[in-house]
């Protein structure tokens, strides 16, 4: 057989074998290749990749573990620990304090972290310069957590979520002081000057500095608020879209 005839037969056999399978593979390959490498679609692909990478970087910061802080209260007759943890609904304040008789006692965050004496911790934490109020009031100090209630056996179990205090930004309570008073906070309803500054909660019974609580990983990210991070993502997405539109 002449060599060119032999080649022609081989080609014929190959075409027969491939008639269905190979053609299908070829068509699929061409489609993917077109999508990825034609100039127009390649830019769309880059745009999507840029947005996905941005989103991933941002989410790695936002979805990092919630920050937790802790304060220990200790005095001659009072002891307890209170933890502050970030949740989607605000800062969850939990813990148990023992040592006072049945009743309600003012419970605040004061502005300074100096507990050389409880008096050294300054006034209620009030960065916006507002009047004193209850935790549910529109007008309140950031540090106004209201009262905690001791039962007859001298135990106060605390479990509240507050939307104003924070572990980042302007309302960050880290490094300030948790204070327990000897009397009930009137939540700004007392009708006198004292009510609008301290809630007339009386003397300071126990205090403790609010400090970083493990795990440390939660404290390692940028500290940007979720709102800031969301705005940042929108900005990235819009920028990428504008680049894409200018290119075409």
Q: Which residues are catalytic?
A: 108, 110, 124, 132, 141, 144, 181, 204
Sequence length of the chain is: 248
Give me the residue label for tokens 């300071």. Answer: 204
Q: Interface with Cu ion includes 108 (CB under 5 A)?
A: yes
CB of 69 to Cu ion, least distance (A): 18
136 neighbors 118 (Cβ within 8 angstroms): no
Residue closer to Cu ion, measured from CB, 58 or 115: 115
Residue closer to Zn ion, measured from CB, 66 or 123: 123
69 neighbors 173 (Cβ within 8 angstroms): yes
The binder of 132, among Cu ion, Zn ion, none, by C-beta within 5 to 8 A per type, is: Zn ion
Exposed, middle or buried by CB within 10 Å (0-12, 13-18, 19+), for 155?
middle
Q: Interface with Zn ion includes 144 (CB under 5 A)?
A: yes
Among 179, 206, 207, 210, binds Cu ion (CB under 5 A): 179
CB of 99 to Zn ion, least distance (A): 23
CB of 153 to Zn ion, least distance (A): 29
Residue closer to Cu ion, measured from CB, 65 or 114: 114
The interface region with Zn ion, picked from 36-44, 109-117, 141-149, 153-161 by CB under 5 A, is 141-149
Q: Interface with Cu ion includes 165 (CB under 5 A)?
A: no
CB of 203 to Cu ion, least distance (A): 10
Using CB under 5 A as the binding criterion, the count of chain residues that bind Zn ion stands at 4
Q: Interface with Zn ion includes 124 (CB under 5 A)?
A: yes
Long-range Cβ contact pairs of 185-193 (< 8 A, separation 24 or more): 185/104, 185/105, 185/106, 185/107, 185/108, 185/134, 185/144, 185/146, 185/147, 187/133, 187/134, 187/137, 187/144, 187/146, 187/147, 188/131, 188/132, 188/133, 188/134, 188/137, 188/139, 188/140, 189/134
Residue closer to Cu ion, measured from CB, 68 or 108: 108
Cα-Cα-Cα-Cα torsion 209, 123, 162, 220, nearest 10 degrees, comes to: -40
In this structure, the number of other CB atoms found within 10 A of the CB of residue 7 comes to 11
Residue closer to Zn ion, measured from CB, 129 or 153: 129
| First-to-last C-alpha distance (Å) of the chain | 58
CB of 177 to Zn ion, least distance (A): 13
Q: Interface with Zn ion includes 86 (CB under 5 A)?
A: no
Interactions with Zn ion, residue window 161-180 (CB under 5 A):
none
What are the residues binding Cu ion (CB under 5 A)?
108, 179
């Amino acid at each position: 057989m002449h060599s060119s005839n032999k080649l022609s037969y081989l080609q014929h056999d190959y075409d027969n074998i491939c008639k269905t399978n190979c053609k299908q593979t070829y068509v699929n390959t061409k489609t993917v290749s077109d999508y990825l490498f034609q100039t127009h679609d390649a830019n769309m692909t880059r745009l999507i990749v840029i947005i996905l990478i941005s989103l991933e970087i941002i989410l790695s910061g936002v979805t990092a573990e919630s920050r937790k802080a802790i304060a220990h209260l200790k005095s001659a007759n009072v002891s307890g620990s209170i933890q502050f943890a970030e949740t989607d609904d605000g800062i969850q304040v939990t813990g148990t304090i023992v040592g006072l008789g049945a009743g309600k006692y003012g419970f605040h965050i004061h502005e300074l972290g100096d507990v050389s004496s409880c008096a050294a911790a300054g006034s209620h934490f009030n960065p916006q310069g507002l009047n004193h109020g209850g935790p549910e009031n529109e007008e309140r100090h950031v540090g106004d957590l209201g009262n905690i209630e001791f039962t007859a056996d001298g135990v106060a179990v605390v479990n509240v979520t507050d939307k104003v205090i924070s572990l980042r930004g302007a309302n960050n309570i880290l490094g300030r002081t948790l204070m327990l008073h000897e009397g009930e906070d009137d939540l700004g309803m007392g009708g006198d000057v004292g009510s609008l500054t301290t809630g007339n909660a009386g003397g300071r019974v126990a205090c403790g500095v609010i400090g970083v609580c493990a795990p440390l990983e939660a404290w390692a990210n940028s500290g940007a608020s979720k709102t800031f991070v969301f705005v940042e993502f929108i900005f990235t997405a819009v920028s990428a879209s504008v680049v894409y539109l200018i290119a075409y």
